[in-house]
Structures are given as C-alpha cells and as structure tokens.
Amino acid sequence: MTSAFPRSEALAARLVVLDETPSTNDMLVSAAADAAWPDLSVVVTDTQTAGRGRLGRVWVSPPGTALAVSVLVRADASLRIDALGWLPLAAGLAMTRAVRNELPGRDDVVLKWPNDVLVGGLKICGVLSELVVGAVPSVVVGAGVNLTMTQEQLPVPTATSLVVAGAEHPDADRLLSTYLGEFRGLLDAFRAAGGDAGASGLQAAVTDACGTVGSRVRVELPGGNILAGIARGIDVSGRILVQADGSPDLTPVSAGDVTHLRAR
C-alpha cells in the first residue's frame, strides 16, 4: 500500500501505511524498542479508531477523512534529553508549513502554542508527543490533520478541515511529504546546533509562525489556576511567555491549555 505515498516513502527511513489502526502513536511506541525501526520511521493511516489528543482527549474521525501520522525520533549525542521538548513545537511548525502549502490562497494558517495548527482560528491539526525510555531514548511525535471532513462531520464547531478551508482536492501524499521534509530539515538543523533552539533558528521560526504570540490568551495551568494576559514570546526552552494582566513581568509557561481570546 506504500505506493499510495511515493513521495513520503522517499523521505522516511521506514514507512508503514496501514488501512486502519487504533493509534499510530501506540504502534510506534511499542515498536521503539526494536532496532529494526530506525530514526525517522513513520506510521500513517487515514482511519484511526482510538486516537488520543492532549490531556487524554479522544481524537476520532470518520474513516478515510483524516491523516494520522507518527514519526520516531531517536535521541543521540546531538539531541540531548533536555532538548526533546522542542520536538512537538518543531512538528507543529512543520505541519503549519505543510497546511499552508495545501491552502496557498490563505494567510491565516498559524501555529497555536504548543503544537496545534489553526486555519482562520479553527483547529485543523493537533500534535501529541510521547517519550519512550529505553537503551536509546526516543520520542514518538504523532499528528492528526483533518483532510476531507465536511462541515457536518467536524467533531466540534472550533474544528476545520482542508476541504472546509477551501482545498478542492487534498493530496495526502503531498501533505505528508511536505510535513516530513519540513520536520526533517528542522530536526537536522536542531541536531547540528547540538539541540540549541536559538542557534539552530528553530526558536525564531516557531515564534514567527505562532499565532499565540501577540494574542490575548487565557491559560489553564496544571492544578486549575488561570493565567490571563498577552503572550509576548517563546523562550529558548520552548515556553510561552505571558505578561499577566496588571503585571510588567513575563511568566514562562511550560504546560497549560491555551485559549486565544483575541488574535494578534
């Protein structure tokens, strides 16, 4: 079945295309201990029956209407453990660029911190990364992007798809190959810089694509506390910097559920 993804197959170290699977992330997490799955192995399907989003949310879609893809990234001497938190941001940036490529007439495709992709303020893609601890630590980076869902098929009013956003004939292989190419390029530069997001240009590129920066936001922090203010930037650790209402200081946020209250 890989013939359906010839361009993507040329970019992946190993590409497995499944007719259906409960979760591409779960499959790759289970396979990570096997050396037969090298760095930048990819599992993809257009029918995922038990996908997961952030905070344990269920991610499902009608068969054949969305693309679920997981990429295995092996940590090595050039990618230290404390730099792995940048991988979902890099993946989100790569998918933002891939979606922009599919929607050339739109200028409102942005990255929402930490790793959602929005079109016109509506979510078209989410990214979920999982650390796999073993002899060689690895990260499985999963992404789910809505391709051909109609307005009626979208799970929530805040979601969209390529078709709803104006793409007449979404090309899954083109989208996936663009995503893999962008992700690989960002990862190569990041590794070459020893996992330094500033020196590699990753920090600046993510900040530039991030619609959260400059927006008024509401952040639900772990534990239930709420932080409201203006997102001012992204620091070298990948944290969003929020200037809380009434405060001159910037609060770094490493984890939280972000709502855009007003676009920049």
pLDDT surpassing 90 at residue 215: yes
The string of pLDDT tens digits covering residues 183-196 is 999 999 999 999 99
Alpha-carbon gap, residue 28 to 158, rounded angstroms: 29
DSSP tag of 36: T
Is the predicted pLDDT of residue 19 greater than 50, yes or no? yes
C-alpha to C-alpha distance for 4 and 112, rounded to whole angstroms: 30
- Residues pairing with 143 in the sheet: 69, 127
Q: Where are the domains of the chain?
A: 2-208, 213-262
Beta-carbon contacts of 168 under 8 Å, excluding residues fewer than 6 positions away, are none
Mean pLDDT of 220-244: 95
Model pLDDT, residue 1: 41
What is the average pLDDT across 150-175?
A: 94
Vertex 65 angle, CA 140 and 156, to 5°: 85
Q: In 10 A of CB 20, how many CB atoms?
A: 11
pLDDT tens-place string over residues 71-114: 999 988 888 888 999 999 999 999 999 999 999 989 999 999 99
Instruction: Encode burial over 64-97: b for 16+ CB neighbours within 10 A, e otherwise.
Output: ebbbbbbbbbbbeeebeeebbbbbbbbbbbbbbb
CATH superfamily membership of 2-208: Bira Bifunctional Protein; Domain 2 (3.30.930.10)
Equal CATH topology for 2-208 and 213-262: no
More confident residue, 233 or 79: 233
Burial class (CB in 10 A: 0-12, 13-18, 19+), 171: middle
Q: How many CA atoms lie within 13 A of 209 on its CB side?
A: 28
User: Considering the chain, what percentage of its residues have pLDDT values greater than 90?
Assistant: 78
- What percent of the chain stands above pLDDT 70? 93
Query: Are β-strands 14-18 and 41-45 bridged in parallel, bridged antiparallel, or unpaired?
Result: parallel
CATH architecture group of domain 213-262: Roll (2.30)
Q: Give the 3-state secondary structure of residue 140.
A: strand
